[in-house]
Structure 1
C-alpha cells in the first residue's frame, strides 16, 4: 500500500519523513497542505490533528513522526532503527525532535523579521502554540547556543570515522538531527548559524551523506485521491488499553503544547507504545488514527 505524506515543503518534520522515504527507497504519494489552518484534506481523516506531517497508509492514519517512522519501518527497505543502536535511535530522535527542535526554531527564526513570516502564519502560531515573536527574538542567542551544542556533540560522535551516529547505516536519530540542521539551513536569515553548524568537523560530510539519500519516488496526489484509498480495512490493532482508560471508550487525543482541539474517536489502544482511535469518515468508512504515546494527552470525550 502506497504511503501518502500530507505536508508542506518548508516543514522540517516533513523533511524528516521525506528523507526517511529516501533511506527506505520508497515510492510515496504527496498531498500538499497549507502551513496554517484550515487543512481540510488532513483533518477530515484525523479529526482535529493539524500538525505537519501526517502519513496515510490505506485506512491507517499516522500522526507525528513518533508514529510515522515505526509505520514506515514495517515497509520494505533498510531499517530506520539499525543495529547497534536499535531502539536508542528512538531516544536520540525524541531529544532532537523535542528540546533540541525548539532550540533550532530559535536559531532559525529568532532573527527573522516578522514580515518575512507573513501575518497569517504569525496569527496561526500565536493562536495554536502561543508563539511570542518578541520573546523568541530575545531568546535567540541562548537557543542558538543550545542548538550549536547538538552540532558539537554530533561532531564528537562522528570523530572516530563512522558514517552515521550508529555506524555504517543511518537511522531515526540521524534523520531527526538532519532535519533540525536542514531547517536552520533553509532560512536565509540564519545562514551564518547554519554555516557554523556545518563547520563543525565531520558534520558537513555527514549532512551530505544524509541529503544524498534523496526523497524516494514522489508522486503528486490530490486529497480526494488519497481519501479514496482510505476506503479499505484498517490494520488489526495490537497492544492494550491501560488503566484508567477502557477499550472502546470515546476519547480525545491532543498534543502537549498546543491549543488545537483533540481528535476524538473510540479508543482501541493506549499503552506505553502508542495510541489508536477509530473514527468514521464520510467517503472512507472507518479509519484508525495512530499517535505515539509520548507527548499526547488522552482524556475522556
Structure 2
C-alpha cells in the first residue's frame, strides 16, 4: 500500500523521511500541510498530533520518525537498519534527533532575523514549544559548538574509508545525522556554519552520497484522496500493553516539550516497541495511530471521555 507523507518542504524531519524513501527506492504519496497550526488535513486522522511529518499507510497513521521509519522498514526493500549496526541505528538516530537536533536548530536559526521567520511562525512556535528568539540568539554560539561536535565525530567515524556510519549501506542513523546538516545548509543565514561542518574530512562526500539517493517516486495527492486510503482496515496490532496501563483504556498521548493537545483514543499497545491508539474518524472509520514509546506522555482518561474535535 502506498505510504503517504504529510509534510512541508522546509521541515528537517520531513527531509529525513523523504531521504528514507530515496534510500528504499519506493513510491510515495505527498500531501502538503502548513508549517503552523491549524493542520486540519493531518489532525483529522491523528486527533491532535500536528508535528511534521506524519505518514499514513492505509488506516495506520504513524507519528514521529521514531514510528515512521520502522513502518517503512516493514514495506520491504533496502533496510534502514543494515548490519552490522542493525538496531544501533535507532540509538544513533535518537541522539541525532534529540539533543543534537536542538543544537542544530540553534546553529541554523540563531542568527536568523525575526522578520525572516514570519510573525505567524514565531507565534506558533512560541505557543506550542515555548521558543524564545532572544534566548535562542544568546545560545547560538554554544549550540553551534555542540552541533560542530557531531560533524567532528562523524568525520572520525568515516576516516577508515567506510561510505556510511555502519559500512557500505546507509541506515536510519545516517539519515538522522544527514537531516540535521541538511537543515543548517538550507538556511542562508547559517551558510558559514554549514560550510564549516561540510569541510570536516569525509563529511561532504558522505552527505553527497546520501543526497544522491534522491526522494524516491513522489506522487502528489489531495488530502481527500489520502483520506480515502484510510477506509481500509488497519493492520493487526503486535506487542502488548505494559503496566500501569491496560489494553482498551482511553488515553491521551502528548509529546514531551509540546503544548499541543493530546491525541485521544483507545489504547491497543504500549511497550518498548511503541504506542498504538484506535480512533474513529469521520469519513474513514477506525484508524490506528502509532507513536514511538520514547518522548510520549500517556495520560489515562475516564472511559466515558470522547475524542475532542480535531485541531
**Whole-Å Cα distance in 2 between the matches of residues 37 and 31 of structure 1?**
16
**Whole-Å Cα distance in 2 between the matches of residues 73 and 126 of structure 1?**
34
**Whole-Å Cα distance in 2 between the matches of residues 184 and 82 of structure 1?**
27
Deviations 1:206-252 (A, max 9, x none): 00000000000000001100001100100000101111111000000
TM-score (norm 1): 1.00
Aligned to 1:211: 211
Aligned to 1:139: 139
Aligned to 2:252: 252
Match of 1:5, SS? strand
Unaligned runs of 5+ in 2: 302-311
**Whole-Å Cα distance in 2 between the matches of residues 285 and 224 of structure 1?**
14
Q: CA deviation at 1:76?
A: 2.3
Aligned to 1:275: 275
Q: Runs (4+) of structure 1 moved beyond 4 Å?
A: none
**Whole-Å Cα distance in 2 between the matches of residues 186 and 252 of structure 1?**
35
**Whole-Å Cα distance in 2 between the matches of residues 238 and 218 of structure 1?**
30
**Whole-Å Cα distance in 1 between the matches of residues 279 and 96 of structure 2?**
31
Are 1:181 and 2:181 matched, yes or no?
yes
Match of 2:61, SS? strand
Match of 2:93, SS? helix
Match of 1:288, SS? strand
Unaligned runs of 5+ in 1: none
Aligned to 2:42: 42
TM-score (norm 2): 0.97
Deviations 1:102-145 (A, max 9, x none): 00000000000000000000000000000000000000000000
Q: Report how many aligned residue pairs link the two structures.
A: 301
**Whole-Å Cα distance in 1 between the matches of residues 265 and 162 of structure 2?**
45
Aligned to 2:96: 96
Match of 1:62, SS? strand
**Whole-Å Cα distance in 1 between the matches of residues 282 and 227 of structure 2?**
9
**Whole-Å Cα distance in 2 between the matches of residues 270 and 297 of structure 1?**
11
